[in-house]
Amino acid sequence: MEIEVSIRKQLRDFELQVDFTAKDEVFALLGASGCGKSMTLKCIAGIEIPDQGYIRLGKRVLFDSEQRICLTPQQRHIGYLFQNYALFPNMTVLGNLQFAARGTFAESRCRIQDNIRRFALQGLEGAYPAALSGGQQQRVAFARILVSEADILLLDEPFSALDSYLKWQLEQELMHVLGEYGGSALFVSHDRGEVYRLCDRAAVINRGHIEAIDSKQALFANPQTLAGALLTGCKNVSAARKIDKEHFSADEWGILLTGTVGQPIPDHLRYVGIRAHFFVRASGPGENTFAADIVEVIEDTFSFLVMWRPSGGDGCSRLLRWEVDKETWRQVNGSKIYLCLPADKIMYMQK
Amino acid sequence: MFTFFAGIGLAYFVVRLKRYQGILDAIITLPMVLPPTVVGFFLLLIFGKHGFIGQLLLLGDIRFVFTWKAAVTAAVIVSLPLMYRTSRGAFEQMDVNLLYAARTLGASEWRIFWRILLPNARQGILAGLVLSFTRALGEFGATIMVAGNLPGITQTMSTAIYAAVQANDDATAFVWVAVVVSFSFLVVILMNYWMARLYGFGRKGNGAGGNRSQHSQTTA
């Protein structure tokens, strides 16, 4: 089912302003905490009411400020997966599912049984939510949503409060469920990894505005904006200006760089970025290649994070972060290092 | 009984109010902080011969002041704030996501109230019941003003003790004191026992935040 959202809502610090459509896909809203992404989901579910705009799901209009339509959450048929799953603690698993069932008794019983089987909840019907593991709770929450015959799934940071091992397990279960579900799902997260693994398309939200919407591959290859670059995990960004057709200056790094033929430098270039693992070691000076002054070396789990700056500057330019595997670093440590910023790996951002 | 339902109802109503919440809250809470004599005085003003409701009652030929009805009303008025306060606290501490979830799942507000809100706020509500019950039992000031102290008609245990002490009848006073103390003690004990039983659904430890605290344990 297709969902079309175009809403405005004044929040405390900024105005939420989101427009997007999604159809039979997993669509992610990627943004930092407090950027308005959860508020967007709440508006779609009818828990919060936008100031103006419209929300359409399939053929049904859920909200339209001009026609003064605003369905209650009960009428919207939207499945909302809360961060803590919001299972009713006073009811058993079966009770939770029965609470959500609509329609006649026979129909709902059939649907409940189907979903108990689908989510492998047999034997847990009589258990209370507090006695379930995180994964079981998530499955019950999903089953409950599907029993209620929701037309779309909204996932509100379903893993943000979990440790990494449990998170990985739940994520895999979610991937499985989403694959089977097949309908539209909106997924809200601040974690680029989750978004990349679970979604087809993603939108970057910054202070209430959608800055970029694209397929996940395109978005991660070229985030288009500074917020997008940071959210997709780019560790090195610098303010930049275009100098001529082929050259630009990365001011915070204090270096002049050359662009590549295939990727023209935009006229209103404001920032450039390069991911920490894209630096290439070189044997001597060359194009976009600089002798590195190593400032700090941090040992990470499976790599070294080397903080460096191009030598020859005034010594107070912004540090660059180079991520290098442990073996390589042990070999080159101590010798004179030249690092190249490959022109085709540099991301240009106009805002 | 009346306090129980009225307190819960009022709490639900006030929590859901968007405007005038503060004023209504203050009005309901006022009897708790006012001296009981002031409450009694107000009741006399309202329900007495010249009071607004008193006149209405006179039309129906119902006597109110210095009857058992007055004693009951006084007890309700002074115990209501306790019931109301604790229920309201319990409602406000609920995980709002439970209510949101119930709404998105299509449950009516009425159903949410009975199936989600009340069961999950039951500890607060039971605590309110205990508090308001004991408060009503110990009510003295307002009762003696509007209901007087007529043995067999409006005499409550507290006023009976007062009368006995005034009459230097320590023996009677002791009897009533013993009754009040043991009865209150018994009620509180029973309530505690009942609450402990109802505490968690098949889980140990504290119940209200059980879902969440369990959750954070798994994540810690």
**Could you read off the pLDDT of B92-130 as tens digits, one per residue?**
888 888 989 998 888 888 888 888 888 888 878 878 877
CA distance B106 to chain A (A): 4
CATH of the domain at A52: 3.40.50.300
Give the strand order in the sheet containing A201-206.
A69-70, A60-64, A52-57, A2-10, A15-23, A209-215, A201-206, A26-31, A185-189, A152-156, A78-81
Residues A39 and A137 in one domain: yes
For residue A317, which of A224, A236, A234, A225 has the smallest C-alpha distance? A236
So what's the pLDDT on residue A31? 86
Residue partners of A21: CB distance under 8 A and separation at least 6? A2, A3, A4, A5
Query: Is B105's CB within 8 Å of A145's CB?
Result: yes
pTM of the model: 0.75
Domain boundary among A223, A250, A271: A223
Nearest residue in chain A measured CA to CA from B98: A86
Q: How many CB atoms lie within 10 A of CB B117?
A: 22
ipTM of the complex: 0.76
Residue A311 has pLDDT above 60, yes or no: yes
So what's the pLDDT on residue A8? 92
Domain that holds residue B116: 2-209
Give the tens place of pLDDT for each residue, B123-176. 788 788 777 777 777 777 777 777 777 776 777 778 888 888 888 888 888 888
Does some domain include residue A106? yes
More reliable by pLDDT, B14 or A249:
A249
**B65: which 2 tokens?**
């002041």
Residues of A in contact with B201 (CB under 8 A): 89-90, 128, 130
Residues A55 and A180 in one domain: yes
Residues A316 and A246 in one domain: yes
DSSP B113: I
Query: Is A82's CB within 8 Å of B102's CB?
Result: no
Residues A75 and A143 in one domain: yes
| Residues across chain B | 220
So what's the pLDDT on residue B3? 58
Residues of B in contact with A73 (CB under 8 A): 100, 103-104
Residues A303 and A181 in one domain: no
CA distance A330 to chain B (A): 36
Query: Is A163's CB within 8 Å of B219's CB?
Result: yes
Residue B205 has pLDDT above 70, yes or no: no
pLDDT, chain B, mean: 74
CATH of the domain at B182: 1.10.3720.10
SS3 category, B155: coil
Does some domain include residue B71? yes
Domain boundary among A203, A223, A243: A223
Contact A182, A148 (CB under 8 A): no
Mean pLDDT over residues A108-128, rounded?
A: 88
Task: Give the number of C-alpha atoms closer than 13 A to the C-alpha of residue A277, restricted to the C-beta side.
Answer: 8
DSSP codes of every residue in A53-85: EEEEETTEEEEETTTTEE--HHHH-EEEE-TTT
Interface residue A45 vs chain B (CB under 8 A): yes
Residues of B in contact with A145 (CB under 8 A): 105
Does some domain include residue B172? yes
Domain boundary among A204, A223, A242: A223
Residues A81 and A131 in one domain: yes
Does some domain include residue B40? yes
Residues A269 and A302 in one domain: yes
Residues A174 and A67 in one domain: yes
Does some domain include residue B218? no
Contact A168, A209 (CB under 8 A): no
Query: Is A100's CB within 8 Å of B106's CB?
Result: yes
Residue B218 has pLDDT above 70, yes or no: no
Contact B43, B147 (CB under 8 A): no
Q: How many CB atoms lie within 10 A of CB B148?
A: 16
So what's the pLDDT on residue A167? 83
Domain count, chain A: 2
CA dist., res. A339 & res. A236, Å (int): 14
Residues of A in contact with B119 (CB under 8 A): 90
Does some domain include residue B217? no
Domain that holds residue A190: 2-223
